Each structure stands twice: as structure tokens, then as C-alpha cells.
């Protein structure tokens, strides 16, 4: 159905896909959502279309790292997070956690065990919290559902999680309702709810994007402190490259269901090797006044990310890529290693690519398929 | 009676002809290049004509475009008035872009909504003046204010999807105010609406679309077209790019910049995002708890922030062009504006707070064109920025823990 976005063996394999340090591994993940196809559509003879939300992704989360998955809307970043926490079933591919294939874990004790170890924090605490439930009941709920511990053990764990999330005195916060808390405190409750199960991996989907900067920093610090205190691993999903820059060890940049570039934060932001990342970095605003020259050096891409229903042939980024050349129209680039585990899905990153000679924009937009 | 039936949601996701889309993109680009030509037929004044633009009656041609003085807007609540805007003054010159920055609840949006008096029912302008070309808008009746709202000062709201009517075609929504406020014929208004769409980079024929058939960026462009419909002198953008992806945000900010240059518009940009202001505005006004903390040219304020709140706010912002992991925290929370602290409102959170800060409201002093309200910079001082201790690294903690 899709050609695999293979990792080339070129270059170092120290970053190899699959070592003992891996906590979670995704292999060739594909998530397609059929749309239409209802009775009305068949009556109307509407062809069924498929949204290719995730279209062949390999990704490894190393134990204890913060990996930022960055992309614009429609990049598939959230879908990957949902697959990892078992909220979405993949169409194809494999998910391995602690060396165990968990792709087919969808029920029973196995699923409960997995969910204790892998938790998710969503963007909007207003939607996650139930206004009619006390903070205690919200945090205790997963323990009760899983029948963990005695009543007094549960109480200790809930209060411990609230304290770890910075809600002190925990007893006082436990008795409150969500509307009695500030936005920052609500998100701390959500974090406590994730911590109470003692997870190893936390998938954080835009956990701070609705908060003011001052509250945001406090929460980011809390999450990073917890990482060290509890040995947590984070998959941090965000549209904000600047945020990824300040808090991630590694950054993976997604576009239309594929990883375009992955490497350490330094590599990806300071020496991007993919034209899409280059453009994103160039337009990411910073609170430093920009000179006229600085402004003209920005690469503002034309148009918007196309619908994942009609992914362009060849490199999916080619219709918007300022550096596209003939090969990009027909062939999808694999992730080339450009050194030390820094990888880019771009023909210009191919080992030995004659960059100067090939970077000519020979794409005629009107003639593109 | 027949209601316009919105096409099913499926139409929005059925793959349109790729060629058409590329053609549209091309047209959109050309449209931006020819703002000068399109503007006159859309009834929009260009920069070159702005001086000859007819002024409202009683306008003083020599007066600054907009002068706000000691504006106070309070919300009445069961537990007393909330002093959302409490003595705000600023000036906007012709063709200038002013950014108003601050966190939720600082009063930036209430300040803007006070200018066009689109306020919630429990909010009221208590005192102060809003002089537009020398005309004070505050004493005007709601009816008299209509002459100025949209026609002199218009506003682009944040959520285009909420501000647009989902069951009406884009072109009709833009044509309506032209018909109603400028008294144009329906046909002329629709033609102008098409011109306006071209002006903001939406191909004219896309005017047939319903809001849900447009992308987020295109919807925001349509909102800008609506704001321009009555040829205003000032456009207020209330978080105009906040919900958009970074690339689309860059496109919209670029469009606003082009429109400002080519049409000689004046902009007031309200955002919590300092970086948006740094890249688009001439001046910045940082608000805290209903008051102005610091105001001045972007270059000066962002390079040499004086007010401790401005410094903290900037340090709390992730900066992709600076070193990693230097995010600062602003301890505590903003004050309750029903009972604000008596002196400087930032004092309870300020690393430099002195006894005087807790008792006396700091007066505004001016250095290098920057107004700052802080006791660190008394009248007659040299105004050299007093800086906060260096930001602690975001993960300063683990240095020990990581071993």
C-alpha cells in the first residue's frame, strides 16, 4: 500500500533502529482513515477516499529521553501519539514496548498493564477533567478501574501524585472541584492523573499550548523535573518548534504523515538538512526584533499543507519545496543518515548528492502531476 | 422561504482538482503584487491617497490619528468592580503598527474593545478619552459611534470559524456591511466584496465558498477582507494568528504587512506572543494587571527591556534564535483586579520590589522614547536597564540528579 520509509544503513548505526536502550519502537507505522463509504455514498456512487494520516513511520524512543514530535496540523503527529497510547488502531506496522510486541494488545489484563506504563496528557485540561468530579476522584479513578491497592494505599498514591505535581497541601487540593482551580493548577491535576499509575512513558500532546507563558514555564519545569525524579521518558507532541528547541533532547519533524527530519535538537534547529525544517525554522518567530534583512531571509512557503487524502507523488513536500528538482517529483526519498544519527528524508541529503548541481528548481508548478 | 443550504461536509474534503488549487495559489500571489490596482475598485484608499481621504466631520486634520488618555474600563461583578483597564494611555500615528502584549487578564483585549465599544454588557468605560483625529469617542452615544466603528476603526477577531456565519457564502458576508453601512446597491456591494477577496489573496470565485470549505488561513484572510470592507484607517487584530500553524501565521503576518504598506493602514495588534510583535510592529505596549508597564519602539523595548515584568516575560518565552534551556519562571499569579495591590501591581511578583513599590503607584518616566512605570527608574535617573539575575536553566535541577 505504501512504500516503506526505510532507514538507510549509510553512515553510523549507533543511533540504530533498535537497541537495548529503546523504550518504545514503532516500525513502518501506517494509519489510514477511510472517509465516506457510507450507504449514501454508495447510492451517490461517491468513491471512497482514504486519509493517510500516518504513512510509513519508524520512530524510536530511548529510555529517559524527551523526544519532540513537531509538525503542523495534518502532519500526523497526534495520530502517532494516539496509536502509542492505544486510542487509535494502526492500519499496519508494529509497536514494540520494552522489547515486547504490543501491536495487538487491545484488551484484558495486557492492555491494563500497558496503560499503567504509558500515559497521555492532553492539551485541554477543561476537557479532560469532569466538572462534577473532585480532584481526588479524578486522580484515583484509574487506580479504582484497575482495582489497584487497598483504599488507604490508593489514598497515599493519589496524595503522593498530587504532591509530585506541585499541588500542596495535597489533602486540600484533593477535596476541590476543577472550577476552583486556575488553568495551571488544572493542568497539574492532569499531570497527577498521569503520574498516579507510575508510568514509564508519558505522551504529552500540546500540554501547554493553551497556557500563558509564565504558567507554561512552571509546568515545563515540573515535567522535566519529574523526568529525572521518576526516570520518565516523554514523547512531546507540539506544533511549536521553539518549545521543542528549549526542552527536547531530540526532535522529529513531520509533514503529511512522514518524518522529514530527525536528530538532536541542536542538529535539527541549528543545521537543518531538510528544506521543510529549514523553512519552519526560518519563520519561527522569536522575541528579538528582526532586521529587514532577517525578514527577507525567511522562507515563507506558499499554500498550505495539502489534504492527507491526496498526498503528492514523489516526495510529498515537493509541490511546496523551494529546492525541488526532477527526481523529487517521482521518487519518495528515504531517511538518509547525514551523520551521527541525524537523518533527513530529502534527495539533497543523499550521501554523495551533488547539492550544488541538483538544487535547481526545475519544478513547473502547473505541470506537476 | 428558502434557506441557503450548506453543502455537506463531504464536499469540503473531496479532493478538488489539484491543477485548480495551484492556479489559485498563483492568482493569490499575483493579487498581493497588485494590491495597488485592486484597492481602488474595492473602494479602499491606498497609501498614496490616504492624505486626501475624506475625514469624518469635526475631525482635526492636524491631530494624531488616535490618542487614548487615562482610559478606565471596569466590569461590574457581584463581588465588586473588576478594574480590567485602569488608566491606560497611548498614541497611534498614521501608518504605525502598535503591538499590545501581556498575559490573559492584563486588559489588552478590553483596551481594544473599548476603542470600538464592543464590550460585554457588564463592562463600562468609566473615564478617560479616546480621540480619533481629534474627536473624542467616549462621550458619543452608541448610535453616533456607528459612524466610526468599522468605517474608521475595524477589528479582526481570533477565531475566524466563530466570527463567520457558517451558512452564508463568504462573498455575501463581506458584501452585507458594505450595503448596510455604506449604502451601496447589492450588486455593487457584491462586486466590491469580490475585489476585497482579491485584495487579501483569495481568488474572486472562492467567494462562493462557505466558511467550512476554506482552510484556516483562507478564513482568516476573509476576516481581514471584512475588516477592510468600509475602508477603515485603523485595523485592530485581536490575536489574529494565534490558532494558526506557524507557516500560515507567517503568511497572514506578511499579508498584514503588505496591506499596511500599500494602503497606509494603521494597525493595533493584540497578542500574548511577543515574537509576533517583534516581527511586525513599530511600537510595543506591555500591559500588566490593567496598566501599562512599558511602552516604546520595538527595537528599544525588546533589546533593552527596563520594566522587570517585560524582562521576565521575555525570558519566559522560548527563543529559537537564543541558547537552549533558558526559560525563566515568573513566580506567583497576577493580582485579583477587584482588589489590586495599592502600589505597583507587579510588586508581589517582582524580584526588585522595594518598600515604596508596595505603597506608591509608580509614575511613568520616559527614556529614549520608552515610557516605563517602575520605581527603579525615577524621574531624573539615567534609565539604564536594571536587569534581573540570569535565567536559570530549565533543567538546572537534573545536573545533580542526573549525576
* A216, A266, A288 ranked by CB distance to B302: nearest: A288
Q: Which sign does the torsion angle of CA A208, A209, A211, A217 carry?
A: positive
Q: What is the pLDDT confidence band of residue B323, given thresholds at 50, 70 and 90?
A: confident
Higher pLDDT, A88 or A44: A88
Q: What is the pLDDT confidence band of residue B390, given thresholds at 50, 70 and 90?
A: low
Alpha carbon B214 to its chain centroid, in Å, reads: 23
Among the residue ranges A53-62, B5-14, B72-81, B148-157, the one predicted with the least confidence is B5-14
Q: What percent of chain A has pLDDT over 70?
A: 85
Taking CA–CA distances from B104, the nearest residue in chain A reads A212
Task: Compute CA distances A204 → A58, A67, A70, A219, B394, whole Å.
Answer: 19, 10, 12, 12, 18
Per-residue pLDDT for A3 more than 80?
no
Task: Compute CA distances B310 → A346, B157, B204, B294, B379, whole Å.
Answer: 41, 25, 43, 7, 19
C-alpha cell read off for A189: 491535576
Is the minimum CB–CB distance between A246 and chain B shorter than 8 Å? yes
A114 in helix, strand or coil?
Answer: helix
Among the residue ranges A126-140, A247-261, A287-301, A308-322, the one predicted with the least confidence is A287-301
Task: Compute CA distances B385 → A29, A361, B117, B205, whole Å.
Answer: 53, 48, 37, 54
**pLDDT of B120-159, one tens digit each?**
999 999 999 999 999 999 999 999 998 898 889 999 987 6
Q: What's the whole-number mean pLDDT along residues A22-41?
A: 85
The mean pLDDT of chain A is: 86
Is the minimum CB–CB distance between A307 and chain B shorter than 8 Å? yes
Distance from CA of B235 to the nearest CA of A (A): 22
pLDDT of residue B7: 38
Q: What's the whole-number mean pLDDT along residues A63-92?
A: 95
* Contacts for A180 with CB less than 8 Å, ≥ 6 apart: none
Residue A135 contacts residue A178 (beta carbons within 8 Å): yes
**Cross-chain residue pair A289–B299, CB shorter than 8 Å:** yes
Per-residue pLDDT for B399 more than 80?
no
Phi first, then psi, for residue A262 (nearest 5°) are -145, 140
Is the minimum CB–CB distance between B62 and chain A shorter than 8 Å? no
Would strands A343-344 and B97-101 be described as parallel, antiparallel, or unpaired? unpaired
Per-residue pLDDT for B391 more than 60?
no
Distance from CA of A369 to the nearest CA of B (A): 8
Distance from CA of B22 to the nearest CA of A (A): 7
Residue ranges of A 57-116 with Cβ closer than 8 A to chain B: 72-73
pLDDT of residue B104: 86
Is the minimum CB–CB distance between B389 and chain A shorter than 8 Å? no
pLDDT of residue A81: 96
* A228, A266, A309 ranked by CB distance to B13: nearest: A309
B189 in helix, strand or coil?
Answer: helix
Q: What percent of chain B has pLDDT over 70?
A: 86
State pTM to two decimals: 0.85
**Cα(B22)–Cα(A365) distance, integer angstroms:** 7
**Cα(B299)–Cα(B369) distance, integer angstroms:** 11
Instruction: Collect all residues of chain B within an 8 Å Cβ-Cβ radius of residue A75.
Output: none
* B246, B273, B395 ranked by CB distance to A283: nearest: B246
Per-residue pLDDT for A364 more than 80?
no
Is the minimum CB–CB distance between B323 and chain A shorter than 8 Å? no
Q: What is the pLDDT confidence band of residue B315, given thresholds at 50, 70 and 90?
A: confident
**Cα(B316)–Cα(A224) distance, integer angstroms:** 16
pLDDT of residue B196: 93
**pLDDT of A7-25, one tens digit each?**
443 333 334 455 668 999 9
* B104, B318, B395 ranked by CB distance to A224: nearest: B395
Per-residue pLDDT for A276 more than 60?
yes
Taking CA–CA distances from A74, the nearest residue in chain B reads B245
Among the residue ranges A58-67, A297-306, B335-344, the one predicted with the least confidence is A297-306
**Cα(B330)–Cα(B313) distance, integer angstroms:** 8
Residue ranges of B 77-116 with Cβ closer than 8 A to chain A: 103-104
Distance from CA of A170 to the nearest CA of B (A): 18
Per-residue pLDDT for A365 more than 80?
no
**Cross-chain residue pair B397–A228, CB shorter than 8 Å:** yes
The mean pLDDT of chain B is: 85
pLDDT of residue B345: 96
Residue B387 contacts residue B310 (beta carbons within 8 Å): no
Q: What is the pLDDT confidence band of residue B26, given thresholds at 50, 70 and 90?
A: low
Encode A42-74: b = buried (16+ Cβ within 10 Å), e = exposed.
eeeeeeebbbbbbbbbbbbbbbbbbbbbbbbeb
Per-residue pLDDT for A367 more than 60?
no
Q: What is the pLDDT confidence band of residue A204, given thresholds at 50, 70 and 90?
A: very high
pLDDT of residue B394: 46
Q: What's the whole-number mean pLDDT along residues B68-85?
A: 95
Residue B262 contacts residue B36 (beta carbons within 8 Å): yes
**Cross-chain residue pair A309–B299, CB shorter than 8 Å:** no
* B26, B103, B298 ranked by CB distance to A289: nearest: B298
**Cα(B188)–Cα(B179) distance, integer angstroms:** 8
Per-residue pLDDT for A124 more than 90?
no
**Cross-chain residue pair B329–A214, CB shorter than 8 Å:** yes
**pLDDT of B199-235, one tens digit each?**
999 998 999 999 989 888 899 999 999 999 989 999 9
Instruction: Collect all residues of chain A within an 8 Å Cβ-Cβ radius of residue B325.
Output: 246-247
The number of C-beta contacts closer than 8 angstroms across A and B is: 165
Is the minimum CB–CB distance between B314 and chain A shorter than 8 Å? yes
**Cross-chain residue pair B279–A285, CB shorter than 8 Å:** yes
**Cross-chain residue pair A49–B14, CB shorter than 8 Å:** yes
C-alpha cell read off for A110: 495486557
Q: Which sign does the torsion angle of CA B185, B187, B188, B192 carry?
A: positive
**Cross-chain residue pair A49–B15, CB shorter than 8 Å:** yes
**Cross-chain residue pair B325–A212, CB shorter than 8 Å:** no
Q: What is the pLDDT confidence band of residue B10, given thresholds at 50, 70 and 90?
A: very low
Per-residue pLDDT for A273 more than 80?
yes
Q: What percent of chain B has pLDDT over 90?
A: 54
Q: What is the pLDDT confidence band of residue B383, given thresholds at 50, 70 and 90?
A: confident
Closest CA to B176 of B161, B164, B189: B189
pLDDT of residue A182: 84
Q: What is the pLDDT confidence band of residue A6, given thresholds at 50, 70 and 90?
A: very low
**pLDDT of B155-175, one tens digit each?**
998 765 677 888 999 999 999
Q: Which sign does the torsion angle of CA A346, A348, A349, A350 carry?
A: positive
Per-residue pLDDT for A141 more than 50?
yes
Is the minimum CB–CB distance between B326 and chain A shorter than 8 Å? yes
Q: What's the whole-number mean pLDDT along residues B20-48?
A: 67
pLDDT of residue A170: 94
Is the minimum CB–CB distance between A153 and chain B shorter than 8 Å? no
pLDDT of residue B88: 97
Among the residue ranges A309-318, B13-22, B229-238, the one predicted with the least confidence is B13-22
Question: How far is the first Cα of chain A from the last one, in angstroms, to the nearest whole number?
Answer: 20
Q: Most B CBs within 10 Å: which of A41, A44, A285, as the mutation test of the B interface?
A: A285
Amino acid at each position: 500500500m505504501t512504500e516503506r520509509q526505510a532507514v538507510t544503513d549509510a553512515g553510523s548505526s549507533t543511533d540504530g533502529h533498535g537497541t537495548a536502550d529503546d523504550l518504545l519502537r514503532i516500525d513502518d507505522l501506517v494509519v489510514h482513515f477511510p472517509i465516506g463509504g457510507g450507504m449514501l455514498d454508495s447510492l451517490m456512487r461517491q468513491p471512497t477516499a482514504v486519509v493517510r494520516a500516518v504513512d510509513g513511520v519508524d520512530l524510536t524512543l530511548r529510555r529517559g529521553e524527551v523526544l519532540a514530535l513537531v509538525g503542523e496540523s495534518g502532519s500526523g503527529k497526534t495520530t502517532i501519539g494516539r496509536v502509542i497510547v492505544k486510542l487509535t488502531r494502526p492500519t499496519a506496522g508494529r509497536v514494540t514496548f520494552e522489547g515486547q510486541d504490543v501491536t495487538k494488545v487491545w484488551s484484558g489484563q495486557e492492555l491494563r498493564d500497558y496503560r499503567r506504563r504509558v500515559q497521555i496528557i492532553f492539551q485541554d485540561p477543561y476537557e479532560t477533567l469532569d466538572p462534577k468530579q473532585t480532584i481526588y476522584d479524578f486522580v484515583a479513578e484509574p487506580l479504582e478501574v484497575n482495582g489497584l491497592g487497598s483504599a488507604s494505599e490508593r489514598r497515599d498514591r493519589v496524595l503522593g501524585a498530587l504532591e509530585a505535581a506541585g499541588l500542596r497541601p495535597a489533602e486540600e487540593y484533593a477535596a476541590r472541584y476543577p472550577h476552583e482551580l486556575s488553568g495551571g493548577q488544572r493542568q497539574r491535576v492532569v499531570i497527577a492523573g498521569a503520574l498516579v499509575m507510575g508510568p514509564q512513558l508519558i505522551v504529552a500532546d500540546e500540554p501547554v499550548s493553551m497556557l500563558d507563558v509564565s504558567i507554561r514555564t512552571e509546568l515545563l519545569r515540573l515535567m522535566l523535573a519529574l523526568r529525572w525524579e521518576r526516570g520518565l521518558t516523554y514523547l512531546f507532541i507540539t506544533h511549536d518548534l521553539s518549545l521543542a528547541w528549549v526542552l527536547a533532547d531530540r526532535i522529529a519533524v513531520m509533514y503529511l504523515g512522514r518524518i522529514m527530519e530527525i536528530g538532536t535538537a541542536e542538529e535539527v534547529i541549528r543545521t537543518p538538512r531538510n528544506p521543510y525544517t529549514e523553512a519552519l525554522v526560518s519563520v519561527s518567530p522569536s522575541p528579538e526584533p528582526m532586521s529587514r534583512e532577517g525578514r527577507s531571509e525567511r522562507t515563507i512557503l506558499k499554500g498550505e499543507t495539502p489534504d492527507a487524502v491526496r498526498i503528492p507523488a514523489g516526495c510529498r513536500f515537493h509541490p511546496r519545496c523551494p529546492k525541488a528538482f526532477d527526481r523529487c517529483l517521482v521518487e519518495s526519498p528515504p531517511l538518509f543518515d547525514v551523520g551521527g544519527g541525524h537523518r533527513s528524508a530529502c534527495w539533497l541529503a543523499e550521501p554523495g548528492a551533488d547539492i550544488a548541481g541538483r538544487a535547481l528548481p526545475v519544478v513547473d508548478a502547473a505541470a506537476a502531476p | 422561504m428558502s434557506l441557503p443550504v450548506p453543502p455537506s461536509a463531504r464536499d469540503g474534503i473531496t479532493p478538488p482538482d489539484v491543477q485548480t488549487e495551484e492556479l489559485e495559489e498563483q492568482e493569490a500571489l499575483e493579487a498581493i503584487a497588485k494590491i495597488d490596482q485592486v484597492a481602488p475598485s474595492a473602494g479602499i484608499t491606498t497609501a498614496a491617497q490616504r492624505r486626501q481621504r475624506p475625514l469624518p466631520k469635526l475631525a482635526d486634520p492636524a491631530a494624531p490619528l488616535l490618542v487614548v488618555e487615562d482610559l478606565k474600563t471596569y466590569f461590574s461583578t457581584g463581588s465588586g468592580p473588576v478594574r480590567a483597564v485602569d488608566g491606560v494611555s497611548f498614541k497611534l500615528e498614521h501608518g504605525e503598527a502598535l503591538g499590545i502584549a501581556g498575559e490573559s487578564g492584563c486588559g489588552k483585549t478590553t483596551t481594544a474593545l473599548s476603542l470600538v465599544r464592543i464590550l460585554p454588557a457588564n463592562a463600562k468605560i468609566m473615564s478617560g478619552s479616546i480621540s480619533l483625529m481629534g474627536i473624542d469617542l467616549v462621550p458619543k452615544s452608541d448610535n453616533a459611534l456607528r459612524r466610526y466603528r468599522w468605517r474608521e476603526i475595524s477589528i479582526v477577531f481570533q477565531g475566524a470559524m466563530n466570527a463567520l456565519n457558517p451558512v452564508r457564502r463568504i462573498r455575501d458576508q463581506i458584501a452585507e456591511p458594505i450595503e448596510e453601512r455604506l449604502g451601496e446597491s447589492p450588486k455593487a456591494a457584491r462586486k466590491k466584496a469580490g475585489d476585497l477577496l482579491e485584495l487579501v489573496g483569495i481568488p474572486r470565485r472562492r467567494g462562493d465558498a462557505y466558511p467550512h470549505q476554506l482552510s484556516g488561513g483562507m478564513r482568516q484572510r476573509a476576516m481581514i477582507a471584512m475588516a477592510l470592507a468600509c475602508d477603515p484607517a485603523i485595523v485592530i487584530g485581536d490575536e489574529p494568528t494565534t490558532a494558526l500553524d506557524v507557516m500560515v501565521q507567517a503568511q497572514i503576518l506578511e499579508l498584514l504587512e503588505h496591506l499596511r504598506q500599500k494602503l497606509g493602514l494603521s494597525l493595533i495588534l493584540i497578542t500574548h506572543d511577543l515574537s509576533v510583535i517583534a516581527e511586525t510592529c513599530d511600537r510595543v505596549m506591555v500591559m500588566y494587571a490593567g496598566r501599562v508597564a512599558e511602552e516604546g519602539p520595538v527595537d528599544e523595548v525588546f533589546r533593552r527591556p527596563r520594566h522587570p515584568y517585560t524582562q521576565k516575560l521575555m525570558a519566559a518565552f522560548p527563543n529559537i534564535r537564543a541558547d537552549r534551556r533558558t526559560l525563566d519562571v515568573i513566580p506567583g499569579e497576577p493580582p485579583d483586579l477587584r482588589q489590586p495591590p495599592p502600589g505597583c501591581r507587579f510588586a508581589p511578583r517582582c524580584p526588585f520590589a522595594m518598600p515604596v513599590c508596595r505603597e506608591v503607584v509608580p509614575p511613568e518616566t520616559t527614556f529614549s522614547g520608552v515610557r516605563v512605570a517602575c520605581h527603579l527608574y525615577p524621574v531624573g535617573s539615567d534609565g539604564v536597564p536594571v536587569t534581573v539575575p540570569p535565567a536559570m536553566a530549565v533543567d538546572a535541577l537534573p545536573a545533580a540528579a542526573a549525576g
